[in-house]
């Protein structure tokens, strides 16, 4: 999934190069078949304009899709941050004796979550950090249930 943007960029470049090559080939073939070279260029401007307009449309869709994916990621980060912050604040309702250990577990959990994103280009390392974060989440849950 990470390589989707790169794949689309390469595909767009290939389509663009293909369109330009086919336009040039068609112009040469047309010029060879027509006796009058000036007549061979007639109508080429409209064809070129339509091809470039389609290319502009493809580029616009690509940029729009990238912007939408960025907005989704940003929203997910804000949602996760709010969820962790809310859970951390709710520790205040637990007995005072249980709060320090749970707060420390939350700090370790937050560090593990940050480590996941830092190691994300390396999927195996990110999976290990995710496992550690999930273990911490289970530990926090058990401690919270025991405290209540």
Concatenate the DSSP letters of all residues of 10-67 into one string.
Answer: HHHHHHHHHHHHHHHHHHHHHHHH-S-HHHHTTTHHHHHHHHHHHHHHHHHHHHHHHH
What is the pLDDT averaged over residues 63-69? 89
pLDDT grade for 2, boundaries at 50, 70 and 90 = low
Q: Considering only 38-47, 59-68, 139-148, which range has the smallest mean pLDDT?
A: 38-47
Return d(Cα 14, Cα 12) in angstroms, integer.
5
> Are the beta carbons of 106 and 137 closer than 8 angstroms?
no
Q: Is the pLDDT of residue 56 over 80?
A: yes
Task: Please provide the average confidence, as pLDDT, over all residues in the chain.
Answer: 86
pLDDT grade for 38, boundaries at 50, 70 and 90 = low
């Amino acid at each position: 999934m990470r390589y989707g943007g790169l794949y689309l960029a390469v595909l767009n470049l290939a389509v663009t190069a293909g369109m330009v090559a086919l336009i040039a080939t068609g112009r040469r073939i047309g010029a060879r078949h027509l006796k009058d070279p000036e007549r061979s260029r007639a109508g080429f401007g409209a064809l070129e304009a339509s091809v470039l307009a389609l290319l502009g449309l493809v580029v616009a869709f690509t940029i729009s899709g990238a912007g939408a994916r960025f907005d989704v990621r940003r929203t997910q980060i804000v949602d996760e941050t709010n969820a962790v912050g809310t859970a951390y604040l709710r520790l205040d309702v637990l007995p005072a004796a249980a709060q320090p250990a749970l707060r420390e577990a939350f700090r370790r959990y937050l560090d593990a979550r940050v480590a996941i994103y830092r190691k994300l280009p390396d999927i195996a390392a990110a999976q290990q950090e995710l496992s550690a974060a999930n273990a911490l989440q289970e530990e926090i849950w058990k401690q919270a249930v025991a405290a209540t």
